[in-house]
């Protein structure tokens, strides 16, 4: 999901229940953050999957309820030219390669000259590999070197005494939020805060309820100070709901499924 032109974004906020009467509740809010009844506290049992799995790994040393890469295979495939196990089994020791997977650890270091660099462990569902980012590249990619991030990495193969690693050249953080809904990408709507009123809320509820499907719905509410991203709690069919949203609220309200 692209978040261009957003000054600040609040983490996705979950709606309490689908079809709840007070779905949008109060239409008030302060100047810093709109409050449309969407801002329900997340129950302790409803942690976002990434947070839950990180806690399991930290406390137990393994993932219990799921794996961070569950449901992401279609995304990983589009952003690699081989898997880690295929690469290691091929015997290749030269050339460039593109891999995708989960950063399981980040080891930040300094050269004798005081220049920062890092080693990450990248894992997909079949294997794990070390990727080295030396100082010249590290300064360009350091923002993306975060444990538990799902990324695509391009680099040059290096063989040292039979141990194959990769000298990283490029890295891209992949959006795998759709994996939390079984691989179905969320539908995103966009509204300016001043356009939200009781009539808008009622019509939006009617449309979303009429197009039941399997894609979750998120709504971007824009204020002069920031943009807040809400999860509405509806599951819709994006192929049928799009025309109703555009026809009722204008084409700008429909941001599509991504």
How many structural domains does the chain have?
A: 2
Q: Which domain holds residue 148?
A: 73-175
Question: Are 131 and 192 members of one domain?
Answer: no
Higher pLDDT, 161 or 177: 161
Mean pLDDT (whole number) for 125-148: 92
Q: Is residue 57 part of a domain?
A: no
Question: Are 77 and 167 members of one domain?
Answer: yes
Question: Are 197 and 155 members of one domain?
Answer: no
Q: Is residue 36 part of a domain?
A: yes
Question: Are 170 and 214 members of one domain?
Answer: no
pLDDT of residue 117 exceeding 90:
yes
Contacts (Cβ under 8 Å, ≥6 apart) of 122: 84, 99, 101, 102, 103, 104, 128, 129, 130, 131, 151, 153
**Could you say which of 118, 153, 175 is where a domain stops?**
175
Give φ, ψ of 243 to 5 degrees: -65, -35
Question: Are 125 and 46 members of one domain?
Answer: no
pLDDT at 69: 77
Q: Could you tell me where the DSSP H helices lie in 101-225?
A: 135-141, 198-210
Mean pLDDT (whole number) for 47-61: 58
Mean pLDDT (whole number) for 181-195: 78
pLDDT of residue 42 exceeding 50:
no
Global model pTM greater than 0.95: no
């Amino acid at each position: 999901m692209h978040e261009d032109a957003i000054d600040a974004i609040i983490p996705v906020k979950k709606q309490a229940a689908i079809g709840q009467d007070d779905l949008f509740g109060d239409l008030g809010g302060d100047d810093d953050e709109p409050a449309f009844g969407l801002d329900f506290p997340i129950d302790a049992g409803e942690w976002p999957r990434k947070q839950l799995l990180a806690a399991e790994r930290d406390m137990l040393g393994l993932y219990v309820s799921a794996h961070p890469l569950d449901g992401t295979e279609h995304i990983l495939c589009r952003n690699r030219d081989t898997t880690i196990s295929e690469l290691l089994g091929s015997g290749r020791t030269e050339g460039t390669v593109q891999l995708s997977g989960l950063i399981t650890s980040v080891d930040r270091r300094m050269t004798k000259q005081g220049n920062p660099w890092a080693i990450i462990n990248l894992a997909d569902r079949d294997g794990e590999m070390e990727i080295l980012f030396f100082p010249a590249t590290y300064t360009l990619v350091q923002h993306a070197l975060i444990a538990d991030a799902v990324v695509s990495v391009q680099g040059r193969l290096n063989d040292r005494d039979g141990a194959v690693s990769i000298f990283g050249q490029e890295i891209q953080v992949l959006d795998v939020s759709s994996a939390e809904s079984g691989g179905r990408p969320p539908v995103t709507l966009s509204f300016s805060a001043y356009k939200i009123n009781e009539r808008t809320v009622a019509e939006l509820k009617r449309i979303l309820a009429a197009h039941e499907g399997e894609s979750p719905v998120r709504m971007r509410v824009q204020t002069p100070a920031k943009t807040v991203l809400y999860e509405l709690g509806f599951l819709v069919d994006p192929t049928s709901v799009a025309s109703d949203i555009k026809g009722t609220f204008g084409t700008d309200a429909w941001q599509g499924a991504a």
